[in-house]
Amino acid sequence: MLSTPLTHGLAELEAEAIYVLRECAGQFDRTALLFSGGKDSIVLAHLAQLAFRPARFPFPLLHIDTGHNFPETIAFRDAFVAKHGLNLEVRYVQDSIDHGRVREEEGENRSRNALQTVTLLDTIKELRLDAAIGGARRDEEKARAKERFLSHRDTYGQWDPKNQRPEVWTIYNGRKQPGEHFRVFPLSNWTELDIWRYIRARELEVPNLYFSHERDVVRRSGVLLAHTEFITLANGEKPEQMSVRFRTVGDATCTGAIESTATTLDEIIEEVALSRVTERSTRADDRRSESAMEDRKKQGYF
């Protein structure tokens, strides 16, 4: 079933991630695996399958849908779930808006990205989750560089970066009070390149948004946004057709594309290895301020 042997480095990362996933099964009662249909969550779901084989992995997938996803991602997500016989829960930011839990942002740069936090925290309460496994990596962003594998959240779902639990050796302390929960990040030590090389070695399928394709895009403050129904053109903005691919496939209103001709995994890997900008440079949401990510995370963002 599994083709290419992994390099030492990847094999170590894989073993580490599986260890962390099994700790979830060992230490938590109600866990969900956050699944967006993006490359990191695909790798994560695959690792979860390996960790508990031949049993099914003992947690459902959970997707917080901003309603602004690329249709390709959603189609991929549903096909993935069907193919692997998984259990998927979806919760919608639209519902949070309809129930008055959050207010939609205004303006042409509006995004539902930050609003997801409320929907996520509400869902954690609703499903009485004590752990939510996510695919975040420490190399993505500098606030994430300080994350733990098991990251404690208080009863308000908040992260306190100055009072994190020390994580010594591989002893992960998942003990908690009622109402508190953990975010668990098995891919903490992976880099973008590791993800792609792993996808290639394990022959995992990913949405075709990651491969180069022709698309109408809008250039907005240095970011190439896909021209979708979710964005409103500002004065003077004109969509142009370009050969692009996406390095992340989050909310379409803030996920930028890059110009690329990479149509195979090998080409993507070569491109990522040579890339001179980080993958989050394509994220409009992180450009809002120097500490945009840290501020979102404190409130309970992924």
Partner 1 sequence: MADERLVRISTAGSVDDGKSTLIGRLLFDSHAILDDQYAAIERSSSLTGESGVNLALLTDGLRAEREQKITIDVAYRYFATPKRRFIIADTPGHAQYTRNMVTGASRADVAVLLVDVRQGMTAQSKRHAFIASLLRVPHVVVAVNKMDLVGFDESRFQTVVAEFLAFAERLQLNDLTFIPISALEGDNIVNRSQKTPWHSGPSVLEFLENVHVSGRVNQVDFRLPIQCVIRPDHSFRGFAGQVASGKIRVGEEVMVLPSGIRTKIREIAAPEGAATIATTEQSVVVRLTDEVDLSRGDMLVRPRNPAETTTAFEAMICWMADAPLSVNAPCVLMHTTREVTAQIRQVLYRLNVETASREDDALIGLNDIARVVVTTAKPIFADPYERNRATGSFVLVDPHSNQVLAAGMITRTSTTLLDAPTLGGRVVWLTGLSGAGKSTLSDAVASALRAAHIPVLQLDGDTLRAGLNADLGFSPEGRTENIRRAAEIAQIASSQGLIVLCSFISPEQAQRDNARRIIGADFLEVHVKCDVDTCAARDPKGLYAQAKSGDVTNFTGITASYEEPANADLIIDTSSLTQSEAAQALLDAVRKR
Which positions touch partner 1 (CB under 8 A)?
1-2, 5, 7-9, 11-16, 18-19, 22-23, 25-26, 50-56, 138-139, 142-143, 145-146, 161-162, 164-171, 173, 175-177, 188-189, 191, 193, 275-278, 281, 290-291, 294-295
Nearer to partner 1, 191 or 263 (CB): 191
Q: For residues 146-165, b (16+ Cβ closer than 10 Å) or e, as one string? A: ebbbbbbbeeebebeeeeee
Q: Give the burial class of 85: count Cβ atoms within 10 A of its Cβ; 0-12 exposed, 13-18 middle, 19 or more buried.
A: exposed
Residue 163 CB, nearest distance to partner 1 (Å)? 9
Q: In terms of CB distance, is 102 or 268 closer to partner 1? A: 268
User: What is the C-alpha R_g of the chain?
Assistant: 19
Cβ proximity to partner 1: between 145 and 233 the closer is 145
- Give the shortest CB-22-to-partner 1 separation in angstroms: 4
Nearer to partner 1, 76 or 149 (CB): 149
Reduced to 3 states (helix: H, G, I; strand: E, B; else coil), residue 80 is: helix
Smallest gap from Cβ 90 to partner 1, in A, equals 26
Distance CA 3, CA 249 (A): 26
Q: CA-CA distance, 284 to 8, in Å (whole number)?
A: 35
Q: What minimum distance in Å lies between the beta carbon of 140 and partner 1?
A: 10
Spatial strand order in the sheet of 150-153: 88-92, 61-65, 31-34, 131-133, 181-184, 150-153
Residue 23 burial class via C-beta count within 10 angstroms: exposed 0-12, middle 13-18, buried 19 and up: buried
Closer of 158 and 232 to partner 1 (Cβ): 158
CA 276 from chain center: how many Å?
22
Q: Which is nearer to partner 1, 19 or 92 (CB)?
A: 19
Cis peptide before 54 (omega within 30 of 0): yes
Instruction: Give me the least distance between CB of 200 and partner 1, in Å please.
Output: 13
CB 141 → partner 1: shortest distance, Å?
A: 9
